[in-house]
Each structure stands twice: as C-alpha cells, then as structure tokens.
Structure 1
Amino acid sequence: MLQLKGTSRVSGLAVAVAKPSPPQGFSPGLKCPNDGFGVYSKDYGPQFAHCNKTVWNPVGSGLSYEDFDFPIFLLEDANETQVIKQCYQNHNVPRDGSVPEYPLCAMQLFSHMHAVTSTVTCMRRSSLQSTFSINPEVVCDPLLDYNVWSTLQPINSSGKVDPEKEVIIVATRIDSHSFFWNIAPGAESAVTSFVTHLAAAEALHKASDVHLLQRNIMFTFFQGSLAEVATVVARALYRLAGGANDTSAIQADPKTVSRMLYGFLIKMNNSWFQSIIKPDIKGILGDDVPQHYVAVSSPVNTTYLVQYVLANLTGTIVNLTKEECLNPEKTPSSEREVSVRQSRTRGKDRSVFCSS
C-alpha cells in the first residue's frame, strides 16, 4: 500500500478479508507504540529512543499512521471477491505475450458522503439544518464521551489540593481505532493499557499503608502477562508516592486481570460485569464483540464499564443516601470523599459516581 501513495493512477483500493488470517499476525500500528514520546523519546537516551532496546510490536506496519489520498473499501463477501478476481483473470491478464483486448474488467467505486469539507464547515451546516429545517439532515455528528478518574487517597470534593502536595498521574486511553469500523474492533491496543491500570489500582488499594503515602496517585482513563506488568506498575507507583514498606505484598490479581480481559475483549455480557453495574443499564452488556471506539453523542459502553470496574476494585462503601451521593455538597465535610469521578471531554462538568 505504501508503494501506491503519491500516484495519480490509483483512484481507489479494494481490500479482501484474509481467510485464514496471516499466521505471523498483522498489525497496522507502529513497531514502537508511543514512538517519540515519554521514555521512547530522545530525552531518555539513545538506548530507549524509538524502542532501540525492545521492539514491542515487531509485526507493526504503521499503516494506521499513513495518510492515503484515495478511498479504501473492504470486501467481506467471499463470493463477490471471487467474482472480481475471476473477472480480472479472464479479461485483464496478458496471455501468450499478447496485450489484453478491450473491454477490460473494471470496478466502479462509490461512497457518497455529506461531510466532504472541514469539521468547522460541516458542523455549521448541521447547526443550520437543525435550526431552520423541519426535517433536518445531519451531515456530521460530534464525538462525545467522558474521562474517568480516581485517586488512591480520598480527596475533599469541595476543597483544593495544596500546591506543595505532589500528585502522581497515571494516564491511559480507553478508545481505539481501526481501518474498518465494526470489522476489526481495534480493541487490544487500548484494552491492554486500561486493564493494566485497573489491576494496578486494585493492587495499590489493597496496600495496608496506602493512606500514609506522601503523594497521592490519580488514575485517569481518557478514552508479557498483564498481571505481571500491572504488579510492576503498582509497585513503582507505590515507591514514587513515598512508600517505604516492602512491596512484595503489592500483587496484581491474575484472576481479576483474566476476568477483565475476557469481559473487555471477548464477552461483555458475563456474570462479573452483570454483578457490578446497575440493573437499569445492563442493556449495555451486549453479546457482540466489544467495540472500543470513541462515541457519537453519548459515551460508549466501555467507558461505563471502566467506571464501574474501577469503583468495584478501589471504591469504599459509605453510608450515604442516594440524594447525598448525587449532591456531595449536602453531606458532612468529614464524609465528603469521592472515590470515582467522571469528567466530560467537552466542557467542564464534573459529577460524582454513585452506584445503587
């Protein structure tokens, strides 16, 4: 595909689903995830820059980060794909050194789109349609979801953090992307990150002296064995937060990691997820393959589940009524603690997470 970039002779590309999948695997991501950022930037030395020491994704092709100026279509129907291939073989392949005779086999690619301009123009057109038209035709939708965050030590929801008090922020993303929507769920790259952080949060929450740490730890979710990675992360965060005790007791639970991987990657509608979310939203636990894209107009199911899983793994049960939970300013200051919060990605709204 990279050889086709920059040529005017290609007006579109049709891609057939590979069955069976390549035995060596395939990844449109980078060989070095987060290449050029954090520890993989030149600031930490040449031994770490661009994953010089360890290549995390050896089969990565980097196609997701390439800009192709022609449309790419996915052919899912094997019968249709075979018809196209046979047509090409019959009419376009030279035989006995002779040039194929016209007419040749050709494809007409068509993909009508309303939003063919910039985001600003598209949103303005949608706004005009919604304002002045009786039957508005929406040409583009805003992406909307919310971030989930939690602190290891309780914080006062109405107070401010002392500027001299350091806070360690651990951040990961929840959303993902793929070439073809709803075909390749684009799940694993995001899921392996936030499952590790959820397991690390649970492991730290179980530490007996967590309330004595000099620094608070904030886990934020922006849209080898994971249990072992989560354990290493949890112990490192414990040390960074000023912990002085032996870290051998800080251990991520492999069973918890397995349950999260099963739920987020294979089947959301499982007994554990059913037990930790509110009964009135159990409809989000569908039987289809979990999707982890950023949402249009409303949060995706993954965001809700990350919020409930984080509360289940690190939350503390408090004796509050539903009204007090939803309105923390009405609770006594001694009980005004927040375990899990959500922040809108658009705007500055903050709301307390209450489970009932």
Structure 2
Amino acid sequence: MSGLGKPLHMLPTVTKAFGVKHGYSNILGELVLADVLDYGDCEDFQIVCPNCREPLFKRIRSETHYFAHYQESKSLHSECELRVRNFTASDIDAKTAFARDQRLRYFLEQTTVLLRECPFRNPEDVIVRETAFRRLRRTPEFRWWAQTISDWLRRQDGNLLALTREHAASVYERWERVSFAPKTTFSREQQERAAADMLMTFATPLGRQALDKALNTAWVDLSLVTGDMAQRGASVGFSGPISDYMRAVLNGPDASAAASHHWLLTSPMPKGLHPQQNVTWSAIFLNQLTESLVEALLMLDYMGSLRKRARTAH
C-alpha cells in the first residue's frame, strides 16, 4: 500500500518530485493515469514504472497527481522521466487498445468461471443455473432472445457505456433498497466500464457463447425476481405476465411456450402500465432482461480474475 494514513516520517523517501503521469499496471496490462487512481490503488493494480518496472506510489503536490519511485538512483529517475514523458498519445492509445483487447478476450474465456465463482451468489444456485441453462438453450424462445439482444447490442455502437450506466443506476438503487452492497476492488465507474466492454464484445462472433452464458444467469435472476414479486402481489400487473412467460419458456420447449412467446411479441401493454401507447410486452421484457444482464456483469470479480492471470503469467 502507499503511505496514506502513516506518520510523515514513515512515508517512503523520494529523491524529487518525479511528475510522471503514467504508470504501468501489471494487473491491467496497460498504462494508467495517476489522477484516476487512489493511493491504495497502486498496490491493488500493481503500478510500476513503465521504463524500469520498479514499484511506484502516488503523490499529489500543488493539486498535481503523479507517480514517484521509492528511494532510488537519481540518474535512473531522470532516465525514466525522460522516456515516459516521451510517450506520444498514439503510443499510449496503441498500448491501451492492445491491452484492453487482450483483457476482454481473457474475460470472455473466463465468463463461465466468473459467473460460477461470483462471491455474491449462493453456491447452491450454481446447480439451479446450470440446469436452467441446459433447458433454456434447447428452447427456440431463448435462442431468439439471445440473437435479438446480440443484434441490439451491435446497433448501439458508441452508446453502450451510457446505456450501461443508465441500467447500473437503476441496479444500484435497487441494491440500496434491500441493503445489498457487493464490494469489488474495482470502483463503480470501473465496474461499469468493464460491464460495457463485455456487452460490446458480446455483440461479436467471438463473444456469442459468453453472451449465452451470461444471459442464462440474467434470465434466471429476472425469473426469480419477477416470480417473487408476483407471489407477493407487488406490481403484479407487470410481474405476473413476465413471470408466467419466463416460466413457460423454462419448462419448454412446447406449444405452451411458443404461444406465450407469440403473445409477448404481439400484445400491447394495458393502459396505465406504461406512459407510451402501443408498447408491447416484449419491449418491456427486453429492457428488463438487459438490465438483469448488466446487473450480472456488475457483480463479477474482474480484479480477482486479473490477479489470477498475473500470478499465472509470472
């Protein structure tokens, strides 16, 4: 950890203000700016000098955020400072894009593990979810929704981060109402960015299998929530039909599931349940299922997975 909270005489000695804005994260595999990290993040993200690979810590002087070496050679500091400051914007963009692509590929490969090892889920739920997925993937209705969401994500283009944050705000509000506060090493903003990146990758052929896995989790989560609301009579006008549809699909494939799917796609919501006219139940379900998907992604332990990768690499 950095020296935050320690007496001044216990702080690591620095030769002079080093003023380097970028450090390299062994965890993320990319360059990061000092002003987006807190003091303790230097240990969590394993921040080192991009040139000499020695550990760095964060300092703030005259409202300027920068990374500094611990006590070392002044000549080495000067060389590091010169090399890091000579990084061009295109150099940084290229390194960041490559690292981000590699990180997303790793997350896609680990999607099943991340969902299974989510620390905020009941371990017994794993069997229920795996059983549900085996059933769901045989149904044409689930496959239809997976393709629909994949196409919808592809059409969002540069709006995915904003859409993710919109859904995340609703998710956080709901969590707060039930005093549920999953703690992740990533900040909320970083979790939202990771979730948006995952959604963007889900829209590619490479991410389709991962989308199916994550959507299975989202489907089961939403089914449990709407089923519970319908049993309690809370917002039954919305929850009841959605719960009935999801249960029919999960128990399918059969004629009942097909009929329920047709009804969902073609039936408008009754007046009073939605401010707009002629909104079908399927539009509402798409929004709810997408929000459930975002919620599942916000709960994943991305940092733990990256730490595991870093340990394996070394």
Tell whether the structures are fold-level matches, with TM greater than 0.5.
no
If each structure's helix is expressed as a fraction of its own residues, which one has the higher value?
2
TM-score for the superposition, normalised by structure 2: 0.21
Rg bigger for which structure?
1
